[in-house]
Structure 1
Amino acid sequence: MDRVIEKKKWSSKRIMTIGAITGIVLLVGASVYYTSGNSKLNVDSERITISEVKKGPFQESIPVNGVVLPITTIYLDAAEGGRVEEKYVEDGTVMKKGQPILRLSNTDLALSLVNQETQVYNLLTQMQIAQNAAQQNTVSKLNQMTDVDNSLKEAERIYKLDKHLYEQKAIGSQEFRQAENTYNYQLQKKKLSEEILKQDSVSTRQGVTQAKQLYNGSQNALDLTRKKVGDLVVRAPVDGQLTSLDVEIGQNKNKGERLGQIDVLSGYKVRVDVDEHYISRIFTGLRGTFTFANKSYTLQIKKIFTQVTNGRFQVDMEFVGEVPQGIRRGQTLQILLALSDERQALLVPRGGFYQQTGGSWIFKVSDDGKTAYRVNNIQLGSQNTDYYEVLQGLNPGDKVITSSYENYGTMQELVLKNK
């Protein structure tokens, strides 16, 4: 008779299966447990920067670079084109007004000067000849007038005598009428001669005036040509330092071409490049500071160039008060340009955290200093080289991590460890 064999309830295979399932459940449970909370990262506290949020004086400012320039620059352009024949000084020489710098030659201009001189000489000769002819003509007219006067006087004498004799019945009317006609004729002739002499005088004056005007015009043209020839010697227009002289012996320079410049050494200004982002906030009167030889100096915006090139525009700043000793043209200054007045504000020091957060969140250190947790919805406002202005999300006395968050990824909490 066969015997019933009872099956074992807990076979090794069943135990292994249950164990495997239990392990998977525990693993999944642990994963859910750890991922359902805040993700954490251990951080060496010595490698981070912890800063305190505090109230203090704040002034919005931006760092800019400026180049020292002379307060006045006079550009030297070729008034006339020509070939460089001589250089009297070298670049960098301190010049006096009127001191020669270089000499150009221009054969066309020299020939024009000779022709102009010849023309003026010819006009002067013609004017003198015309004046002599006018004088001779006037003398001739005056001689004729003298004859007319004499003839009139003689005709008047005879007329008066014959009139008296006619009234005395000593002569006939025929003889008297002849004397009367002769007198009237000479009288009319004198009037005509006087008119001719008057017109001749006016004509002579007009001719002389026109000749003088023509001569003066030619003389002015000659003076202008002489000035052009004189301009071939380039001279310093003011006292100052010669810079950027770009000429060599034998080189041809066109009219209007830049030769160099004279920097007036009476003072300096600073030409500053500013990002176009701030163009609406820049105006004359804004001030900036810089340090030179361990001493602080102040500059003020005097002129704004609104043309934007490569995302930047320029302003000219002048010194307020003392000018640094030993400053030189072309020197670069690092300037802190103030965009607002000083005021009290809640501040957090600048740091690398801003590159990852954009100022919208930050890691705040717990009271015990062992952890730091992410604080969202903070808002930062204006900034300067040292601080960001806190508008919301943080309070005075809060301690935050301001160093870079580059390795923190999406972590919600940092565990601060000391070595």
Structure 2
Amino acid sequence: MIRDTSGQDVQLTPASPWKNPRLLKRAGLGVAAAAFVVWGLMSWQSTNAVDASVSLSRLNIAAVERGDLVRDLVVQGKVVAANSPTLFSPAQGIVKFAVKAGDTVEQGQLLAEVDSPQLQNQLAQESAMYNKLSVELARQKIQAKRQRLENTQKADLAKVDLTAAQRELKRAELSMEKQIISQLDFEKASDDLARAELEYKQAVQNSQLENEALTFETQTLQLQVDQQQLQVEELQRKVNELNIVSPVDGTIGSLAATQRASVAANTPLLTVVDLTSFELEAAVPENYADDLGLAMEVEINMGGRKLPGEITAIAPEVIDNQVVARVRFTGNQPKNLRQNLRLTARVLLENRSDVMLVKRGAFLDQTGGRFAWKLNDQQQAVKVPITIGALGLNQVEIVSGLNEGDQIITSAADELEKAQLVALKD
């Protein structure tokens, strides 16, 4: 009988590999090797994660610090005469110049004459009318005196009649008591006294009214004379202005008419430039127009010298995207200033104290002031977002994104254009 294999099979329990010291040692070595490989890969990836590399010799580095920032604006300007009056013809006529363009003149010096027969004839007519009215006024005053005397005489005669009537009434009263006169004569004396009183009263009132009327007529004529005198004085002033004199010490800038030319009234004739007083006419970009203000301090650069000044006028219109401002020298004006001399001016717009700031550089134009590359301790530069504030001539205010003591790249480079992490090489 053949026996089957059931008796040959023996069930065995597998042993746990964790209980074998040799296997545990090998597993530990494997894990350590894998960790080393992963660390190496990560280190290799970290080393090669930079987007670009730039030599430090090509870059400018600046530190963020805290201090005072002066917000300013540098503009170009030209020197112009602060006082350059243009003289006009006072009337229609023929002009005769006594000077030429470029001549040096003094205040009060005769520059030109305008021959105006029409104005001179008008002055003569008005003067004659003034003399006529003056004579009439004198005649009116004499007539008024004569009339006042007549009025006074009438009042005095009425008073004499009144006095006589009063005496007649007293005489009639005495005669009536002695029965010398009749009742009719007494009453007649009373009526004569009443009539004399009335005539005297009316004579006084008429005298007062006529005196007032004479005074009124005299005053009316006096006003006419005064009015005519004003017209004569005005015409005389215009005739005197036919001799055109220099209002200031200076130089003749230009002649607007030719010699012996016929000119109309209020026609410009010539310009006098006062060389003792100059101002700077500066062109300011229109986006800074709202920041300008009168009496704002200005620092004028003239051949390395810094001269103080202030804004005295701001043009209300914008021409070619610029606003013209006038700057006056506040200190002693330089003696070597010339018309149309080109100078640089620094307008002090604002002064901010205790703010974070950094040196101004080309990185502002490259990123529009929105980013900066900050240096880390691994000789790398990381692109970080920033917010800038006021812009100064040499510095810029940092509102956020950087801290005091941080170092950033202030110059521009093509490698930084799209790089997030930049390696810096010596």
Both structures adopt the same fold (TM-score exceeding 0.5): yes
Q: 1:62 is matched with which residue?
A: 73
Structure 1 residue 325: Cα displacement: 3.8
Q: Deviations over 1:178-234 (max 9, x none)?
A: 333333323322222222222211111111111111111111222122222222233
Matching of residues 28-177 of structure 1 within 5 Å? 50-55=59-64, 59-71=70-82, 73=83, 75-78=85-88, 80-91=90-101, 93-96=104-107, 98-177=108-187
Cα distance in structure 1, aligned partners of 2:373 and 2:148? 113
Q: Deviations over 1:338-379 (max 9, x none)?
A: 44437675646645x87666566799999999xxx9975665
Matched, 1:215 2:225: yes
Q: 1:164 to 1:325 in 2, by over 3 A?
A: same
Matched, 1:275 2:285: yes
Q: 1:192 is matched with which residue?
A: 202
Q: 2:18 is matched with which residue?
A: none
Cα distance in structure 1, aligned partners of 2:262 and 2:348? 49
Look up the equivalent residue of 1:191 and give its one-letter code. Answer: K
Q: 1:367 to 1:198 in 2, by over 3 A?
A: closer
Q: 1:244 to 1:380 in 2, by over 3 A?
A: farther
SS in 1 for 2:207: helix
Q: TM-score normalized by structure 1?
A: 0.69
Cα distance in structure 2, aligned partners of 1:151 and 1:344? 108
SS in 2 for 1:308: coil
Matched, 1:233 2:235: no
Q: Deviations over 1:97-133 (max 9, x none)?
A: x444322233332232122112212222322333333
Q: Deviations over 1:369-407 (max 9, x none)?
A: 9xxx9975665845555566677589866667647x5x9
Unaligned runs of 5+ in 2: 1-48
Cα distance in structure 1, aligned partners of 2:64 and 2:105? 54
Structure 1 residue 64: Cα displacement: 0.2
Q: 2:30 is matched with which residue?
A: none
Structure 1 residue 334: Cα displacement: 0.9
Unaligned runs of 5+ in 1: 1-36
Q: 1:379 to 1:39 in 2, by over 3 A?
A: closer
Cα distance in structure 1, aligned partners of 2:154 and 2:299? 93
Q: Deviations over 1:29-52 (max 9, x none)?
A: xxxxxxxx99999x9x9xx95433
Q: Conserved in 2, the CA contact under 8 Å of 1:349 and 1:402?
A: no
Look up the equivalent residue of 1:246 and give its one-letter code. Answer: L
% of aligned pairs identical?
A: 15
Cα distance in structure 2, aligned partners of 1:64 and 1:299? 14
Cα distance in structure 2, aligned partners of 1:204 and 1:215? 17
Count matched residues. Answer: 371
Q: 1:243 to 1:66 in 2, by over 3 A?
A: farther
Q: 1:355 to 1:184 in 2, by over 3 A?
A: closer
The CA RMSD measured in Å over matched residues stands at 4.4
Cα distance in structure 2, aligned partners of 1:94 and 1:50? 60
Look up the equivalent residue of 2:123 and give its one-letter code. Answer: L
Matching of residues 353-372 of structure 1 within 5 Å? 358=368
SS in 2 for 1:315: strand
SS in 1 for 2:260: coil
Q: 1:6 is matched with which residue?
A: none
Look up the equivalent residue of 2:61 and give its one-letter code. Answer: E
Cα distance in structure 1, aligned partners of 2:307 and 2:216? 71
Name which one, 1 or 2, has greater alpha-carbon Rg. 2
Q: TM-score normalized by structure 2?
A: 0.68
Cα distance in structure 1, aligned partners of 2:289 and 2:75? 13
Q: 2:261 is matched with which residue?
A: 251
Q: Conserved in 1, the CA contact under 8 Å of 2:77 and 2:281?
A: yes
Match for residue 178 of structure 1 among 168, 181, 188: 188
Q: Conserved in 1, the CA contact under 8 Å of 2:61 and 2:409?
A: yes
Q: Conserved in 1, the CA contact under 8 Å of 2:374 and 2:384?
A: no
Structure 1 residue 409: Cα displacement: 10
Q: Conserved in 2, the CA contact under 8 Å of 1:84 and 1:102?
A: no
Cα distance in structure 2, aligned partners of 1:400 and 1:138? 103
SS in 2 for 1:307: coil
SS in 2 for 1:171: coil
Q: 1:357 to 1:162 in 2, by over 3 A?
A: closer
Q: 2:315 is matched with which residue?
A: 305
Look up the equivalent residue of 1:241 and give its one-letter code. Answer: G
